[in-house]
Structure 1
Amino acid sequence: MLIDSSTEQNEGLPEAQVRAALIAADDPSASPAERAEMLMEIARGLQLKPRSAQQLHDAVALYRRALELVPESDPLLAARIRAREGTAHQALPDGGAEALDAALECYEAARPHLQTYGLPEELAELDINLGLVTQSQAGIGRARITDAIAHYHHALRVFTRERHPREFAILHNNLAIAYLSIPVIDEAGKLREALAVQSFEQMLQVINLVDHPSEYAMAQNNLGNALQYAPSKHPIANILRAIEAYDEALKVRTPRDTPVEYANTIANKANALCNLPDNPEHPELGNARHLAAARALYAEAHALFSQYGLSGNAAAVAEALIELDSPTPFGEAILPIAKELQ
């Protein structure tokens, strides 16, 4: 087998960068603050496209060495380094709950000085990351999802649609996912589903099919899911809007280019069709035509899920196909196949 020597050299480059950075950290010709900033920038570079978890661990080590160099007279630089270190912990694929705890500790240590000396955008970015960490901890029962939602709302005070459209879209996507992760057990839960719909709609005001195709497709798919299961006095109207959203997502998602995402979306569309009367003005006439269309979509999704080894999704679709052939009364909703929120 031929070896590409340039690739081999590039793979060793991060290790060489780390060694060079640690040597430069002891260079007396630069001030401690300058050396700390240099280490911070090299660590950030390791985080951009890490080829392994080790590069993220190396980034953490460089951030900590940088903190040792920061003079006490520069609390803002120390806060910035701590905030960046938190993102490295957060990105560790092998860190688990311990990495989340370390990230949270970094963010909380950085907050007071960023609040006093930093830019509003720096504090808002910290709130985004605090929200993400808290949301992950809530998923394992170690935090409250409502605290994550509060962090996102704090960040939205700075990251407005007009001035920071990218961050605005990210925040509303995160908010919608947080809202939908809360079980619907009371009227407040129903309200949160409606808020999720609003957040996806807000997101779609700043992204579009041409400039952000994958994000646009994801948002439309998730908007369809939220619409389909959100409570409404006009459920048929919601289902029709959900189908429109899925069709928008399918302008990007195709069986050739994005087969798994395509399968998710057509399965979700099939769910909606199962609950849509053929004639919305006369729902009592049933939905035989839409059930036939749903059956075809489920079958196509099942084949793709099976082909790509997604046995859980394939089993859920198979169960939905069985339900279609059972005497389920019209209007009794079939459970979602793929509430994809990514």
Structure 2
Amino acid sequence: MLAEGAAAARPISPLLAAQLLGELARVETDEEAAVAHLREALALAADARLPGLRASLQLSLALCLHQQAGTSRPALLAAIDAYQEAVHAGLSAESDPAAYGLAQSNLGLAYLTLPMAGPGAPLRMAVAVQAFREALRVYDREAQPEEWASVQLNLANALVYLPSSHPEENLAQAVE
């Protein structure tokens, strides 16, 4: 039904079609089909002056790509790009704190899942730490205890392994 609605709306209202495709992706059980629906929705919404719609679609795409990625470096990099695009599209701590926290937390996890070998490893670890810190700006220990605890634990794990000239401070922050 959603697919037919999106097809019918496409020539008349591309933005409505994009919204319907986003919903279709949300209920889709085939992850590859969901990604295809989201990419089509993003193409339809590309010129829209609705940053919330584009950011929401981009975050949904990032979550789907991340779910599919496993430990595949190219797939993780695609998910990372999608998380960053969600923020560039207008997702912020002010506009949608819960979605922003989710995006930042998952961005950090995606960076941590990448192999930590090679010259870019310290930078990737630092970006992961920064993403977790951003997520903690919006997650409150009292209001979202599960999200806060999860991000805090991921931050602690990242800080323990972060190459630094002040490892004692990182360790102290990790156990806070």
Q: TM-score, normalised to structure 2's length?
A: 0.88
Deviation at 1:203, TM superposition (A): 1.1
Q: Deviations over 1:113-163 (max 9, x none)?
A: 212346111111111111122223321649432221111112112012233
Indicate which of 30, 34, 37 corresponds to 1:103: 34
**For residue 23 of structure 2, what is the aligned residue in structure 1?**
84
Structure 2: gaps spanning 5 or more residues: none
The equivalent residue for 1:16 is none
Match of 1:191 in 2: 123
Q: Distance in 2 between matches of 1:161 and 1:191?
A: 24
3-state SS of paired residue (2:47): helix
Contact 2:42 2:58 survives alignment (8 Å): no
Mapped contact 1:135–1:143 kept (Cα < 8 A): no
Whether 1:174 and 2:113 are equivalent positions in the alignment is no
Q: Can you give the 5+ residue segments of structure 1 that lack an aligned partner in the other structure?
A: 1-61, 93-98, 245-342
**Equivalent residues in 2 for 1:1-342, closer than 5 Å:** 62-67=1-6, 69-70=8-9, 72-89=11-28, 92=29, 99-117=30-48, 119-139=50-70, 141=72, 143-157=74-88, 158-244=90-176
Q: CA RMSD in A?
A: 2.0
Tell me by how many angstroms 1:185 deviates: 0.8
Share of identical aligned residues, percent? Answer: 32
Structure whose alpha-carbon radius of gyration is higher: 1
Which digits, 9 at most, give the CA deviation of each residue in 1:295-323, with x for residues without a partner?
xxxxxxxxxxxxxxxxxxxxxxxxxxxxx
Give the letter aligned to residue 87 of structure 1.
R
Hey, what's the Cα distance between the residues in 2 that align with 1:208 and 1:194? 22
Say which SS state the counterpart of residue 185 (structure 1) adopts: coil
Structure 1 residue matching 2:143: 3-state secondary structure: coil
How far off its partner does 1:69 sit?
Answer: 4.7
CA-to-partner distance for each residue in 1:41-69, whole Å, 9 max, x for gaps? xxxxxxxxxxxxxxxxxxxxx32243355
Give distance in 1, aligned partners of 2:42 and 2:57: 8
| AA aligned opposite 1:223 | L
In the TM superposition, what whole-angstrom CA distance separates every residue of 1:198-234 from its partner, at most 9, and x where no partner exists?
1111111112112111111111111111111222222
Partners of 1:214 and 1:123 in 2: how far apart?
28
Q: Which has the higher contact order (CA 8 A, sep 6+)?
A: 2
